[in-house]
Amino acid sequence: MLNDPLANVLSKTLNYEGKGKKEVIIHPFTKLVKGILNIFQTKGYVGAAVEVAAARGGIGKLNLIGAINKCGVIKPRFSVTLADFEKFEKRYLPAIGVGILIISTSKGLMTHEEAKKKKIGGRLIAYCY
């Protein structure tokens, strides 16, 4: 039984990146996982993520391009306001302007840069650089 499916997906992705693999099979392929992988894809960290089977939980295939140095979930899911972004950037990212924090807001999943532009806060979900 998986306690945190998102953490398992990101850990598996990071392990396959380190081994130099070109693709990884993801299970379960949930809405949250799809949303985060979509953000990773738009920012250029991974290739396309495709749902292979609609089995229980879903199964997906993710193409890797070798651009991830580190990624992971943020536990506990800290509540963050507009004034707190810099503190968490310093904590989870190697330098300001390098990498992304993924935030769950009332407007959906987005990066910390988009949340700053829209001037909204939310909960920290994951990071990647």
Query: Domain boundaries in the chain?
Result: 5-64, 74-128
- May I ask the CATH architecture of the domain 74-128? 2-Layer Sandwich (3.30)
| Proportion of the chain above pLDDT 90, given as a percent | 92
> How sure is the predictor about 55, in pLDDT bands with cuts at 50, 70 and 90?
confident
CB atoms within 10 A of CB 95: 9
CA dist 112 and 102 (Å) reads 6
Q: Which segments of 1-129 does DSSP mark as H helices, in order?
A: 5-19, 31-42, 85-92, 112-118
CA dist 24 and 15 (Å) reads 10
- The 10s digit of each residue's pLDDT in 67-103 is 999 999 999 999 999 999 999 999 999 998 899 999 9
CA dist 19 and 21 (Å) reads 6
Q: What CATH number was assigned to the domain covering residues 5-64?
A: 3.30.1370.30
Predicted TM-score of the model (pTM): 0.92
Residues constituting the chain: 129
